[in-house]
Structure 1
Amino acid sequence: MSDAVENEFIQLIRGQSGAGFGGGIGMNYLEVTPDRVVVSVEVGPHLHQPYGIVHGGVYCAIAEEVASVAGAVWLGGEGKVVGVNNSTDFLRAVTEGTLTATGTPVHRGRSQQLWRVEITGDDGRAAAVGQVRLANLQ
């Protein structure tokens, strides 16, 4: 993918910040490149489960979106990506502050990709780690 096409695609992704499911939970794109996507999410009661901590599904959703955006940016105009597996481990409870999720590639091939997404709290400690497998659709 040429630099101009890559930059245009990245701007398109950033322009979607605030839309869709990610927008609904307050996802803010901080960095979007073919090799790394970083987002932040402000924690509030709308993300809590009944015990006042971030719901596990929120971590799964963040991992899915970060990996999908990263995989789509890497694939560029060659097709689309869809998630086919999401395995997210919850490591530590978070009640407030900001979550930061960083997605990096484990494997990027012709038919599938595998991305690791680490989600940290304000203190920089891991709150959750996800692994998302994507299928590349041509």
Structure 2
Amino acid sequence: MTDSFPLGELARRMGIELAEASAERTVATMPVAGNTQPFGLLHGGTSAVLAETVASIGAALHAGPAHIAVGVDLNCTHHRGADAGTITAVATPVHRGRTTATYGIVITDQQDRRICTARLTCLLRPAPGRRSGTRPT
């Protein structure tokens, strides 16, 4: 599943690589290099992009192929900086309903230290060109 799931141009540009993808757990990595702010530390916005990427994938897999997951609320708390290496994001569901899905995301560095804690809520909508008859369970 990880090879066939489309990440999108921004995620590819940032070097995000999908390692695991399911509605129950989605994991991706991202290099710190190339994703830093002017002081050489990981940019907080890149943590937000990584968090929204993994949680949106989990929500989309929950919703099924007839639906898309659209992020409507993202919250990120940045706990520590990173200046090198790779970070890993793990998204797990907090709530999976028929019209919304909320995922908690933990981002850690290579020493398993928490870099960021995030939460994303997605609205589950019919995919363009699809009728809204089938809903996630």
TM range (shorter): 0.7 to 0.9
State whether structure 2 residue 1 is matched by structure 1 residue 12.
no
Paired residue type of 2:70: V
Letter in 1 for 2:105: V
CA 1:76–1:11 in structure 2 vs 1: closer, same or farther (change >3 Å)? farther
TM-score, normalising length from structure 1? 0.86
Q: Which runs of 4+ in 1 moved over 6 A?
A: none
What corresponds to 1:94 in structure 2?
82
Q: Percent identity?
A: 29
Deviations 1:96-117 (A, max 9, x none): 0110000000000111110011
Q: What amino acid sits opposite 1:102 in the alignment? A: V
Taking the aligned partners of 2:22 and 2:15, their CA distance within structure 1 comes to: 20
Taking the aligned partners of 1:123 and 1:114, their CA distance within structure 2 comes to 27
What is the alpha-carbon root mean square deviation over aligned residues? Answer: 1.3
* TM-score normalised per structure 2: 0.87
Match of 2:39 in 1: 51
The one-letter code matched in structure 2 to 1:131 is R
Aligned residues: 126
- How much has 1:27 moved relative to structure 2? 0.5
Deviations 1:107-137 (A, max 9, x none): 0011111001100001001000110010011
- Residue 134 of structure 2 aligns with which residue? none
Which residue is equivalent to 1:79? 67
Equivalent residue number for residue 15 of structure 2: 26
Task: Name the amino acid aligned to 1:24.
Answer: R
Q: Which has the higher helix share?
A: 1
Query: Helix, strand or coil for the counterpart of 2:42?
Result: coil
Q: C-alpha displacement at 1:76, in angstroms?
A: 1.1
Q: Which runs of 5+ in 2 are unaligned?
A: 127-137
Equivalent residue for 1:69? 57
For residue 132 of structure 2, what is the aligned residue in structure 1?
none
Distance 2:35 2:52 in 1: 16
**How far did residue 11 of structure 1 move?**
4.7
Instruction: State the 1:79 CA deviation.
Output: 1.1
